[in-house]
Amino acid sequence: MSETDDLRALMEADRWIERVSARRTHLPESEELAQLESELRGLQRSLLEIEAVAGPLKSAYDEVARESSRLKSRANDLDATLSASTANARELSALEKELSHVRMLWSESEDRELELLLEVDPREAEIASLKARAQPGVLRRRELIEVIAQLQASLSEELVSLRSAREERAVALPVGILSRYEVSLAHAGISGAAQVIEGHCDGCRLALSPLDVDRWKAQAMGTFMDCPECGRLLLP
């Protein structure tokens, strides 16, 4: 192989490394995961906001429900006592008065229980709805994380192989040319050489001036002109 062919092989090796590296860091699955996580965070914020309101309401409802149950039990006990009582009129009057008071409190407690239930129910329904909406996303997120890990591991292995092959191509070049190439690579990125296609450097995509095209065509075999714009070694 000629030095031009060796340089072109190194250029292609670096371009492949760049493509695989870019693919590894810009997987479609990673973009989907980022969008999905943003949606899940939005649902989580909504859930926390509703729970912040629903939590105290549910606690208040539970407390009132317990009080209603206690008052109901007390009213039933008093009613049973009155039905079976052989007490005197004064004692019976006291029991009836307490029963009337307990029933009044029980009624008020049940009214409050119903009011709180009407506030709690829609919020609990919304909480359930948000959790149901989030569930498919949570499962998909888990799948994406696994897929991304597998793809990145595979691409990492491919990069190791490509870099090894790249080193083999690099040592095939004369030290002087390789040194120029590496300097151009560090400056321009992706690759240190580029092809001239229809008067354009295919590295920076800019057109060469007619004078530069003439200079490039007139260069001796085994010598390489730098692109005036990006500094890459220009190949036919």
Residue 17 to residues 22, 61, 93, 194, Cα–Cα distance (Å): 8, 63, 97, 15
- Based on the domain organization, do 166 and 183 belong to the same domain? no
- Based on the domain organization, do 125 and 231 belong to the same domain? no
For residue 67, is it within any domain? yes
DSSP states of 136-202 as a string? Answer: HHHHHHHHHHHHHHHHHHHHHHHHHHHHHHHHHHHHTS-HHHHHHHHHHHHHHSS-SEEEEETTEET
For residue 70, is it within any domain? yes
Secondary structure element (H or E) that encloses residue 81, with its range: helix 28-84
Amino acid at 49: E
Q: What is the DSSP letter of 223?
A: -
What pLDDT score was predicted for residue 40? 96
Residue ranges of the chain with per-residue pLDDT less than 50: none
- Based on the domain organization, do 35 and 152 belong to the same domain? yes
Phi, psi of 99 (to 5 degrees): -60, -40
Quote the pTM value. Answer: 0.71
Q: What is the CATH number of the domain that holds 60?
A: 1.10.287.1490
- Based on the domain organization, do 199 and 166 belong to the same domain? no
For residue 5, is it within any domain? no
- Is the CB of residue 98 less than 8 Å from the CB of residue 78? yes
What pLDDT score was predicted for residue 222? 78
What pLDDT score was predicted for residue 91? 83
For the chain, percent of residues with pLDDT exceeding 90: 87
What pLDDT score was predicted for residue 135? 96
Asked which of 171, 196, 225 is the last residue of a domain, the reply is 171
Residue 46 to residues 40, 50, 89, 118, 196, Cα–Cα distance (Å): 10, 6, 61, 20, 56
Residues present in the chain in total:
236
For residue 48, is it within any domain? yes
Range of the domain at 183: 175-235
What pLDDT score was predicted for residue 1? 66
How far does Cα 75 stand from its chain's mean position?
57
- Based on the domain organization, do 184 and 84 belong to the same domain? no
- Based on the domain organization, do 150 and 194 belong to the same domain? no
